[in-house]
């Protein structure tokens, strides 16, 4: 079946925007590291991510996974949402849907849309689409500096909070407890869509 020109243009534009976000994320990680006076080795020790991998991410030579971004943001005492917002968005109170940055985890297909504008409010609202069968672990450090709610919009999400297993259905909402290693898991054959609301500590 021939591919329509419009599909090629859409694909090329989407990949260009995705590559641009990847470069901005890498540049933001370097800025956060250098603003703290840290070497690559020091960030590697603090985040448990290899020095070589951080170097590749900063140079835009490797795409970070959601798990790696969680480790790096935790090392900076930032939420992953804050780190991504600093990389992705301009300041403002109004953010149209088509302007909301979308990032896709190259490992799992986890799709993250930053919904809330970048403002001085200590709050981030993110929409996540987790593909069927996908699993995304997050270290405790990624939750150490904020309070967080998870609200399932479609499908079913299994959320492992340390040793506690939460099976969440459409409409369910969970407030996370003290920081611990967590896993977002879709054990079904359909995508799961959920919202994450992060309230940063003042």
The structure tokens 């969970």 sit at 174
Rounded Cα gap, residues 21 and 165, in angstroms: 33
DSSP tag of 171: T
Beta bridge partners of 168: 157
Rounded Cα gap, residues 136 and 175, in angstroms: 18
Residue 92 is predicted with a pLDDT of: 74
In the three-class reduction of DSSP (H, G, I as helix; E, B as strand; rest coil), residue 84 is classed as helix
**Which H or E element spans position 111?**
strand 111-114
Residue 21 is predicted with a pLDDT of: 77
In tens digits, the chain (202 residues) has pLDDT values of: 444 444 433 333 444 445 577 888 899 999 999 999 999 999 999 999 999 999 999 998 888 888 899 899 889 988 777 787 777 766 678 889 988 888 899 999 999 999 998 777 888 899 999 999 999 999 888 877 688 999 999 999 999 999 999 999 999 999 999 999 999 999 999 999 999 998 876 5
Q: Work out how many domains the chain is built from and give that number.
A: 1
Give the angle 176-180-181 at the CA atoms, nearest 5°.
Answer: 110
pTM (whole model) above 0.95: no
Rounded Cα gap, residues 126 and 31, in angstroms: 23
Q: Which domain holds residue 65?
A: 5-200
Which residues are CB-neighbours of 111 under 8 A, at least 6 positions away?
Answer: 102, 103, 104, 105, 128, 129, 131
CATH number, domain at 117? 2.60.120.10
């Amino acid at each position: 079946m021939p591919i329509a020109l419009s599909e090629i243009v859409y694909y090329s534009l989407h990949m260009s925007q995705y590559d641009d976000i990847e470069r901005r994320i890498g540049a933001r990680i370097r800025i956060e590291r250098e603003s703290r006076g840290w070497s690559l080795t020091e960030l590697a020790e603090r985040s448990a991510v290899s020095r070589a991998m951080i170097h590749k991410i900063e140079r835009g030579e490797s795409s970070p996974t959601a798990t790696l971004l969680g480790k790096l943001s935790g090392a900076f005492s930032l939420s992953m949402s804050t780190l991504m917002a600093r990389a992705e968005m301009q300041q403002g109170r109004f953010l149209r849907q088509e302007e909301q940055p979308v990032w896709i985890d190259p490992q799992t297909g986890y799709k993250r849309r930053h919904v809330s504008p970048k403002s001085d409010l200590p709050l981030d609202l993110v929409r996540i689409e987790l593909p069927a069968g996908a699993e995304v672990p997050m270290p405790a450090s990624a939750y150490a500096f904020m309070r967080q709610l998870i609200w399932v919009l479609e499908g079913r999400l299994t959320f492992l909070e340390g040793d506690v297993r939460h099976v969440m259905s459409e409409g369910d909402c969970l407030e996370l407890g003290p920081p611990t290693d967590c896993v977002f898991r879709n054990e079904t054959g359909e995508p799961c869509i959920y919202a994450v609301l992060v309230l940063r500590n003042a």
